Amino acid sequence: MAKRNPSYDFTWCPGCGDFGVKRAIERALTARASEKQEPIENSVIVAGIGCSGNLVHLQEGPQPFGIHGIHGRTLPIAYGTKSANPDLNVLVVSGDGDFLSIGGEHIAPQARRNLDITVVVMDNGIYGLTKGQASPTTDLQEITPTTKYGKLDDRMNPLMVYLGGGARFIVSELSTRIRPLQQAIEDAMDYPGFSIVHVQSPCTTYNDTYAALKGDEANGIKALAQPIADSHDPGDYFQALALAAQPGVPVGVLYKADDTVPAHDRLTQAKQEAGIASTDIEKLFDDMVI
């Protein structure tokens, strides 16, 4: 990975929310390596295409493995990596375009498997790398180069999509809250199942939502981002649904299912119960002898 690699010719715009997410991930990975006494090479970052995906090349400090694939396919790549070696810590980094638009079809299948991975979605509500086209989370009526009459498609509610798809651990966070974000990512990596940390990560060039998220209480402008109340029970699926359906951006742990058996344990248990023996090629041939 890039260690201040001079030939690497990409960076984010000043003020991009992704800087905060990068910092939180670096800290979370380093903390995990030291707490669990495992080499950082045991972690793999699977990156999507878009501004967010370039995070994999910008990691500073101890370097995990990375795979920077093709647009929209972070989850299936992670499915292969985690299934091939369940001992690896697999972290997906993606954006609202990569994850929710072109890659949207992959969310429910991996959630239903309860693939034991952590997804960090950097949601800036726009296609930044291709210069500002509408994404699923762009607001209704927003004017962009591809929505010249204002966006006609309703805004997607990603938290509802995750809940509906079967994700078991869902956190909604802000790129400006680096420490809580770091903690959320660490918790998600520890959680034995499919976890998503959905981060509002504003784009200062095409969709600057910093002010809207923060609000201006003195002048009567309510912040879009509201902390999830202590009374919310993240273990209650229906509470999570009700909260996700509210307008605005909840901040904190939306949902955390108590019952979770990750994909690889489901398989191991099923194989043990069925008493399946290892492949013996010669025996398979024996059964075919005429």
Partner 1 sequence: MLVCQNEYAYDANLPELSDEGIIVYNSQEFQIEHPRALALPTDDMAREAGNVRAGTIVMIGAVARAVGFSLEALETFITARWDRGRPGDATIIEGNIKALHLGATAADESGFEIAQVDPPIEESNARERILIRGYEAACLGAMAAGLDVFIGYPISPATTMLTYMETNLNGDDKFVGQASSEIESIAALIGAGFAGKKTMTSTAGPGLSLMGEGLGLAWMSEIPLVVADVQRGGPATGLPTKTEQSDFIMAMNPGHGDMSLPVIAPGNVEEAFWATAKAVNWSERYQGPVILLTEMSVAERAQDIERPDTSLISQESRAISDGSVENRRYEGKGVSPFPVPGGPGAYVANGSEHDEQGDTTHLADVHIQMTERRFAKLKTLNDGTFEAENSSASIAIMPWGGSKGSGRGAWQELTSEGIDIGWYYTMYLNPLPEELLSELRTKDKVLVPELNYMGQFAGHLRQLGVSAETINQYTGLPWRISDLKDAIKGHLG
Q: Does residue 237 interact with partner 1 by CB under 8 A?
A: no
Query: Quick check: 117 and 91 in contact, CB under 8 A?
Result: yes
Which residues 140-199 are close enough to bind partner 1 by CB under 8 A?
none
40 binds partner 1 (CB under 8 A): yes
Is 118:90 a contact under the CB 8 Å cutoff? yes
Among 83, 157, 226, 239, binds partner 1 (CB under 8 A): 83
| Candidate list 73, 151, 177, 232; residue touching partner 1; CB under 8 A | 73
Q: Least Å distance between CB 33 and partner 1?
A: 12
Q: Which two tokens stand for residue 169?
A: 């651990």
Q: Which is nearer to partner 1, 92 or 212 (CB)?
A: 92
| Residue 54 vs 195, nearer CB to partner 1 | 54
- Cβ(239)–Cβ(90) below 8 Å: no
Burial class for 87, CB neighbours closer than 10 Å (0-12, 13-18, 19+)? exposed
Residues 26, 87: Cα–Cα separation, whole Å = 20
**What stretch of H or E contains 47?**
strand 43-47
Binders of partner 1 in range 269-288 (CB under 8 A): 271, 276-279, 281-282, 284-285, 288
* 261 touches partner 1 by CB under 8 A: no
Neighbours of 176 (CB within 10 A): 17
Q: Do 123 and 139 touch, CB atoms closer than 8 A? A: no
Q: Could you tell me which stretch among 40-48, 123-131, 170-178, 235-243 binds partner 1 (CB under 8 A)? A: 40-48
Please report, as ranges, the residues that interact with partner 1 according to CB under 8 A.
1-2, 5, 7-10, 39-42, 44, 46-47, 54, 56-57, 63-70, 73, 76-85, 87-88, 105-106, 109, 267, 271, 276-279, 281-282, 284-285, 288-290
